[in-house]
Structure 1
Amino acid sequence: MSDMYAPGHRTAVLDALRARMNAALRGKPDVVERALACVLARGHLLIEDRPGLGKTTLAKALADALGGTFGRVQCTPDLLPSDVTGFNLFSEKTREFEFRPGPVFADIVLADEINRATPRTQSALLEAMAERQVTYDGVRRALSPRFFVIATQNPAGQHGTYPLPEAQCDRFAMKLTVGYPSPAEEAGLLAAAVGERLDTPPPEPPVTDAAGLAALQTATAAVAVTPPVRDYLLRLATATRTHPRIELGVSPRGLLTLQRVAQAWALLSERDFVSPDDVQDVAPAVLGVRLGVDADDPAPLIAELLDSTPVPDGRD
């Protein structure tokens, strides 16, 4: 067995990832932990909050720590689908059309302010996020095996935003909010800004590489999920599909995502099995991005579902 699969090595890598991201986004360890769970679950991450709260900072820190190639899409209303996926360009040298890949062909893609792009451009990411491939002019092109999208968006209803369609939301594993820092953390930010360097410091080396990330994701998929916990997941899914205030319950794909993120949460807690507590810890972020509810904030409704759904005896 390779050292990168050993529990001790996994813990060291995960601790280094935590340290790198917590240094970039100060005072938000819960947000950092859930972002790591999303990566381990091979999902895609949506970060929603007001401008200036650290959404892009978190996304860039995560991308830098994971290494690999990095692509960034600054979403604007005039962004075209081909600006995301790539396009064919006629070559005077070969007298043929050649495909020029877009930023989506990077290992890690930051889609900044995704809801400022038009629905047509947003849909360009659908196939890529679901199947890790792009089809252009009838030709399918595979993306990186560790293709990972980190998208940021401003709250719906702000000027110049387009709501993400349900199909797009279901491609994300989870949605996080950053929130304002505490007064103490904000005071620290002000102090650190006095006399800060104006030049760009050299980039830090990545914490892990493609093989290391694949090893972590393989270990996540191997975390045990017992029949009682699977039954609990099924009861939660049924509750979302039958609740009178929920217009769109969790899909089978969403249920699989919830299980995989719970496996990641257990791994981050250094356990080799999933408990109902793991499911409850990640359910708000996983369900919150995909449930169609008759309210702007689904959190109280998700809390109600978790409270009313029977938990297996023994909590495991």
Structure 2
Amino acid sequence: MSSLQKYFDPETLAHIQPLGLRAMTLVEGLMAGLHRSPLRGQSIEFAQHREYAAGDDLRQVDWKVFAKSDRYYVKQYEDETNLVCYPMIDVSESMAYRGASAPMSKFDYAQLIACAIAFVVINQQDSSGLITFSDGVEQWLPATNASHIFEDFVRVLEDTAPRRPTDLEAVLKEVVQRLPRPVMLILITDALERGTAWYDALKMARFAGHDLIVVQVLDQDEIQFPFDRRTRFVGLEGLPEAVTDPAMIAAAYRRAMAQEMEGLRRACLQTEADFYRATTNQSLVQFLPDLLAQRLLRRGSG
């Protein structure tokens, strides 16, 4: 394992306590890796209009808007706007699951993703908040770029334990109502809520103008179903216990799980939400730098 790779390895990170130190270990590796790989070829995209102010470049005046409104507006680009980002962590009961061979629970893994995102956003003078949710919003840290936000972030997560069922539609409805303007929402969740709830919830948030990224975190056991002897399965989020022979249900389970995973991917595609999937034994280097570089880092930052 390379010196940089160890920063992203769940086996290594799982042995580092407390969460603040674990998160900073990951962030140290992220920043080192991003410095080695400068962004290239990014364009600066038009974001919005704002009223002309003395000293603005007249070349940026939008004369089409002036013709319609008789007022001067200049084009504002992405590099001039402040990114407001809210990692949203699922803290429902199912996120506590940790398979026998997994280095950490889904919730532990989700915490690291959220901490890394928040640190990078704040480090480039943008604003990050935090939302934790189950069947409703549990904790809400308003977005800011103040230096204390990362410590507040870690403190909230250290004091949080997964519980209760999930109701994403109710959560996003509340979030949309509480946010005064569109932001970037990064949902970090196992996404085990069934039915059309995901599609309906994502569509609602997108209709409100929010930029969405979904990061699905699963335990490898939930995908592979490796059980080979009579097992007592403990129900989560209101489901009953079941004692059964895994061989009798393995094929049907894997088919159903594959359908659920594909359904989520399609829901994200249809609602134009970026989608990432990770398992808790997977190195974060396999997707996290890509997520940060494509969606969160400004050109020339770092």
Same fold (TM over 0.5): no
- TM-score, normalised via structure 1 length: 0.27
Answer with 1 or 2: which has the greater Rg: 2
- TM-score, normalised via structure 2 length: 0.28
Q: Higher strand proportion, which one?
A: 2
